[in-house]
Amino acid sequence: MKEKSVLLLTSDPTSLTYEDYLDWCQNNEVEPQDENSNSFYEWCGEEAYMIYNDERDNLSYSKLADRMFLVDGTLGLWWGKPAIVPQVCRGLLETIDKCIGNDIDNIDVKADFENGLLVVYAYHHDGTNVFNLRMLNKNGEKWAESAENRGDVLEYNQRWWTKIKKWGDIFEC
């Protein structure tokens, strides 16, 4: 079984070390503060935010940036895990943003090369929403547009999406 590879995540500021901070201070000619100082914790938050934005920037230049995706999944609610109604979205970042919503604390977006899809884990106070992003192929895009024009419910078929099998399917390598 292949491991899921991380594409995007809201970095946990606690994963940054004091040594990282000291290196940053030295490289930027800044006087380092104590390990338990507000300056260190502020730096951790700012650095995590910057890493997240850099990763988003990278995805905006990926091969999938303008592709169309079919999204399905479950909501992790206190009373259960209801399935969502599948939706079609265009653009990788736009699709991820729709999965995030307003009440999400942290996210992980992973490439599941074994199953050929991207998975968004959106963590919140009740649990975790899990969304599967399937990249539609040209026939799938035609099907989605046709279904939308007719007002049909989206029922998808595996022939309508292309599996993402390796990093080269996402980024120029």
What is the number of domains present in the chain?
2
Is residue 25 located within the same domain as residue 103? Answer: no
Is residue 55 located within the same domain as residue 103? Answer: no
For 83-105, the pLDDT digits (tens) are 998 899 999 999 999 999 878 88
Q: In the chain, how many H helices and how many E strands?
A: 4, 7
Contacts for 134 with CB less than 8 Å, ≥ 6 apart: 69, 70, 71, 72, 116, 117, 156, 161
pTM: 0.85
Residues 11/118, Cβ–Cβ less than 8 Å: no
Is residue 43 located within the same domain as residue 79? Answer: no
In angstroms, the CA 99 to CA 119 distance is 10
Residue type, 45: G
Q: Is residue 2 part of a domain?
A: no
Last residue of a domain, one of 43, 60, 77: 60
What's the pLDDT score for residue 153? 65
Last residue of a domain, one of 21, 43, 60: 60
Looking at the predicted structure, is the pLDDT value of residue 160 above 90?
no
Residues 112/4, Cβ–Cβ less than 8 Å: yes
Which domain covers residue 136, as residue numbers? 68-169
Q: Is residue 5 part of a domain?
A: no
